[in-house]
Amino acid sequence: MIIAELCGVTKVYGGGVQALRGVDLTVERGDLVGIVGPSGSGKSTMLQMLGTLDRPTSGTVRIAGHDVAGLSDRELSALRARYLGFVFQQFHLAPGVSALDNVADGLLYTGTPLRERRERAEVALRRVGLGHRLGHRPNQLSGGEQQRVAVARAVAGDPPLLLADEPTGNLDSVAGADVLKILADLHAAGTTIAIITHDVEIAEWCPRQVRVRDGRIVAETAKEVRV
């Protein structure tokens, strides 16, 4: 089953800057794909397209079969809440708010009652090994723990597709390895994951790699055995 699809997608920004040049990409259920390329290659713009955070100049973006071009902003928000989870290089945690409520607040747009949001948040935090940090605020957590809170927030709603943009970029090697292990565990449990990275080693850690340069996909490889 195809979860996300880009068909002939282009993106041109002001001044004629072509970030994407006719990209075709499918992300299927069960994928763990690394989208890799240097700065300015277009990989982050691909994330924006896959996450419906921006609209293409031309081409088609489909999420779970839905053509996003025909959706209103409200419908797009509902689509994201149902199908997509996001993890970024910056943790984007609310200061002064507990880990539990940082995760629970990520479910606000699903219309889930507060009690259930907190129950789901606790389950998600325990999945990433932070069951003992539920009441801790961001300034009481290490960088690696903050990123794990961000991962928990992204998966608390059990989205079919998790998009991770440089998820280890702000972490040391040990904390980064911990986050990758968590992503591998989530993938093994059924979450489809796309990691956007400039790090070739992280891309090669993924069973499937998509290499991007100058707004185009220039190579794609896949391993027989999944991580």
Residue 98 included in any domain: yes
Residue 119's pLDDT is 97
User: What CATH number did the domain enclosing 60 receive?
Assistant: 3.40.50.300
In the beta sheet, which residues pair with residue 163?
A: 86, 194
Residue 17 included in any domain: yes
Residue 50's pLDDT is 97
Residue 226's pLDDT is 42
Task: Extract the tokens encoding 186.
Answer: 């989530």
Residue 16 included in any domain: yes
Residue 179's pLDDT is 94
Residue 175's pLDDT is 93
Q: Which amino acid is at 49?
A: M
First to last CA, the chain: 20
Task: Extract the tokens encoding 107.
Answer: 């479910």
Residue 225's pLDDT is 46
Residue 227 included in any domain: no
Residue 160 included in any domain: yes
Residue 224's pLDDT is 61
Number of structural domains the chain divides into = 1
> Across the chain, which distance is largest between two alpha carbons, in Å?
50
Q: Do strands 17-28 and 2-13 pair parallel, antiparallel, or not at all (unpaired)?
A: antiparallel
Task: Extract the tokens encoding 171.
Answer: 């972490």
Residue 155 included in any domain: yes
- pLDDT in single tens digits along all 227 residues of the chain: 999 999 999 999 988 899 999 999 999 999 999 999 999 999 999 999 999 999 999 999 999 999 999 999 999 988 998 999 999 989 999 999 999 999 999 998 777 899 999 999 999 999 999 999 999 999 999 999 999 999 999 999 999 999 999 999 989 999 999 999 999 999 999 999 999 999 999 999 999 999 999 999 999 998 864 43
pTM above 0.75, yes or no: yes
Q: For residue 149, what are the CA distances in angstroms to 75, 106, 126, 130?
A: 27, 11, 10, 8
Residue 170 included in any domain: yes
Residue 111's pLDDT is 79
Domain that holds residue 34: 2-222
